[in-house]
Amino acid sequence: MFLAVAGLLTFTAFQSAKAQDEPQAAEQTLGTEDEAVAPAPEAAPVNPFEATGSDKPLHQQLKAKFIEGGAGFMALVLICLILGLAIAIERIITLNLAQTNTNKLLGQVEDALKAGNVEKAKDVCRNTRGPVASIFYQGLIRMDQGVENVEKAVTSYGSVQMAQLEKGLSWISLFIGIAPMLGFLGTVIGLIQAFDAIEVAGDISPNLVAGGMKVALITTVGGLVVAIILQLFYNYLISKIDTIVAQMEDASISFVDLLVANQK
């Protein structure tokens, strides 16, 4: 596919250069044969930036490229971006709320247990947000069943909390994979359109190839940009979850040690 794209671009550039050289050679021949004839007035130079509309606002340029890339495929790519960002933002907010000052929480639970007030320790855990407090609460409920049952409860509920932290990441990973696939699909369709136009015309010209190639390149760029943006959010969320899980494991070990020390 990429070899076909490169071949089309090279041949198109060669045809454009050849077409530009032929008028220049004709003008030089006419000038040497009849110098008395006044040359025709030259057209005003065209600013390529004005031709592409770069003086327009950014949102209008993006809208124009969106339409040029094909509303069908570009809309699907945009939907992947919107849904992926929505899930990523929701996960970021949830993970930020899940972080807890574990040292402060352990200190409050330890003070309550040393005073023999288990219910106060439970109230502290209930009034504290985050998975660490929930794990501590599950352990305090089973405190009278022995340390082994507490360890099992803490381990099991820790796995449940870890699964809740990772909720939604599979969807972001799905959008990261789908977005460039849709872009490449638009690329293939653009190439097919270009070859169809060449077949109908029976000749290769820049105007025929440009339409299909534009669709191909714009959809590819759109899919890759969406995948890159979502990949950054995905990696950030993974690192955030790893940090919280490490805090959960460390706090769980300290909590079990605290219960063992208070039972002696």
Residue that wins the pLDDT comparison between 187 and 141? 141
Burial environment of residue 245 by CB neighbours within 10 A (0 to 12, 13 to 18, 19 or more): middle
Q: Is the pLDDT of residue 253 over 70?
A: yes
Query: In this predicted model, what pLDDT tens digit does every residue of 24-68 receive, in sequence order?
Result: 444 444 444 444 444 444 544 544 444 444 566 655 666 566 566
- pTM comes to 0.69
The per-residue pLDDT for 102 is 84
Distances (CA, A) of 6 to 1, 11, 20, 133, 218: 9, 9, 21, 59, 16
**Distance of alpha carbon 84 from alpha carbon 208, whole angstroms:** 36
**Distance of alpha carbon 205 from alpha carbon 211, whole angstroms:** 11
Name which of 233, 235, 246, 257 is nearest 85 in CA terms. 233
Q: Is the pLDDT of residue 264 over 60?
A: no
Query: In this predicted model, what pLDDT tens digit does every residue of 83-116 receive, in sequence order?
Result: 999 999 999 999 998 888 888 888 888 888 888 7
- The DSSP element (H or E) to which 165 belongs, if any, is helix 147-165
The per-residue pLDDT for 47 is 47
Contact call for residues 136 and 108 (beta carbons, < 8 A): no
The per-residue pLDDT for 13 is 44
Contact call for residues 154 and 135 (beta carbons, < 8 A): yes
Query: In this predicted model, what pLDDT tens digit does every residue of 182-222 receive, in sequence order?
Result: 888 877 877 777 777 777 777 666 766 666 677 677 788 88
Number of other residues whose CB lies within 10 A of the CB of residue 37: 9
At 109, list the tokens: 């639970």
**Distance of alpha carbon 130 from alpha carbon 104, whole angstroms:** 13
What is the secondary structure of 42-110 as a DSSP string? PPPPPPHHHHTTTTS-HHHHHHHHHHHT-HHHHHHHHHHHHHHHHHHHHHHHHHHHH---HHHHHHHHH
The secondary structure of residue 146, as a DSSP letter, is -
